[in-house]
Amino acid sequence: MSRLSRCLIALASLAVLGALPLPLWNIRLAAPQYPEGLGMQIDANTVRGATDHDLGNINELNHYIGMKTIEPDDIPELRVIPWFIVGLAVLGFAAAAVGKRSGAYLWVGVFAALGAAGGWDFWHWEYLYGHDLDLEHAIIKIPGMSYQPPLIGSKQLLNFTASSWPASGALLLGVAFALGVAAIVVSRRAAAEVDAPALGVRPHEALA
């Protein structure tokens, strides 16, 4: 790979590492009597309220519909996600160091697979919380109603509008992924140019 591609992969790995302390996803809940809204923030290693008491208040409201209490300790994935992120960064640095294009392919592939798995897992937890309701003790029971917030976008759940959007960490991961793809593109283009000197581009120019 060209030096530029290797730099891009290294930069992408740095961005992956940078996403570690940032929030990955935000879920906002707005209702007439909550003009300031309630919020939940999903980090790599925990779920917490947008303010100190938001998660407690969301759980308090959820007892009306029989939803399980949302407790970060109940979600085992939160214990391993940070290690996956670190591992992804290490793999990226390794790919940059080795400098083979196959390494870049491997890295982007692993990244895509982890991203898809993470997205599915998040959706699955939303599904579980939204559907696994204690109907025996629920105070508000509406036949056929479930309370799964969307993965991306907004949805009306009784008096609350639930909106779910990627947060800065996820956006940074997106940038990292794009950098990884860019590294491959740059590397392929450079290779194509080296293979076609007839076009008049000298190899050292392509490296620049």
Partner 1 sequence: MHISFRRSIWLAIASLGSIGTLYACATRRSAAGSLVTGDAAARVYVPPGSYDEFYAFMSGGYSGQVSVYGLPSGRLLKLVPVFSQFPEDGYGYNEDTKALLQTTYGFIPWDDSHHPELSQTDGVPDGRWLFINANNTPRIARIDLTRFETEEILQIPNAAGGHASPFTTPDTKYVVSATRFSVPMPNTDVPIASYKQNFKGNLSFVKANEPGKMDVAFQILMPGYDYDLGHAGKGPSDGWFFFTSYNTEQAYQKLEENASQNDKDFIVAVNYKRAEECVAQGKAKRTPAEYYHNWVDSSTHEAKSERKTSVPVIDPKDCAGIAYYLPTPKSPHGVDIDPTGEYIVGDGKLSTVIPVHSFKKMQLAIAAQAFDTTIDGIPVLKYDAVLAGEVQHPGLGPLHTEFDGKGYAYTTMFISSEIVKWKLGTWEVVDRIPTYYSPGHLMIPGGDSKHPWGKYVIALNKITKDRYLPTGPEMAQSAQLIDISGDKMKLLLDFPTIGEPHYAQALPASIIKDKQLKFQKLTDNADPWVTRSESDGGIVRTGKRVDVKLIAIRSHFAPDNFEGVQAGDTVYFHVTNIEQDWDILHGFAVLGMQNSELILQPGQTRTLQWIPRTPGVYPFYCTDFCSALHQEMQGYIRVSPAGSSVKLVANVSKKAQAQLAQDREHEKEHGKHERKER
Binding residues vs partner 1 (CB under 8 A): 36, 52-53, 56-57, 60, 64, 137, 139
Query: What are the tokens at 72?
Result: 């970060």
User: Which CB sits closer to partner 1, 136 or 205?
Assistant: 136
Q: CA–CA separation, 9 vs 181, rounded Å?
A: 9
Least separation, in Å, of the C-beta of 33 and partner 1? 9
User: Which CB sits closer to partner 1, 64 or 120?
Assistant: 64
Burial 87-110, CB ≥16 within 10 A → b, else e: ebbebbbebbeeeebebbeebbeb
Least separation, in Å, of the C-beta of 28 and partner 1? 16
Contact, 44 vs 85, CB < 8 A? Answer: yes
Contact, 23 vs 43, CB < 8 A? Answer: yes
Please work out, in degrees rounded to the nearest 5, the angle formed at the alpha carbon of residue 32 by the alpha carbons of 27 and 36.
Answer: 55
Strand partners, 31: 34
Least separation, in Å, of the C-beta of 159 and partner 1? 10
Least separation, in Å, of the C-beta of 53 and partner 1? 4
Q: CA–CA separation, 106 vs 100, rounded Å?
A: 10
Query: What are the tokens at 120?
Result: 């599915």
Query: What are the tokens at 62?
Result: 């959820």
Query: What are the tokens at 49?
Result: 């309220």
Least separation, in Å, of the C-beta of 14 and partner 1? 37
Least separation, in Å, of the C-beta of 15 and partner 1? 36
Backbone angles phi, psi at 64, to 5 degrees: -65, -35
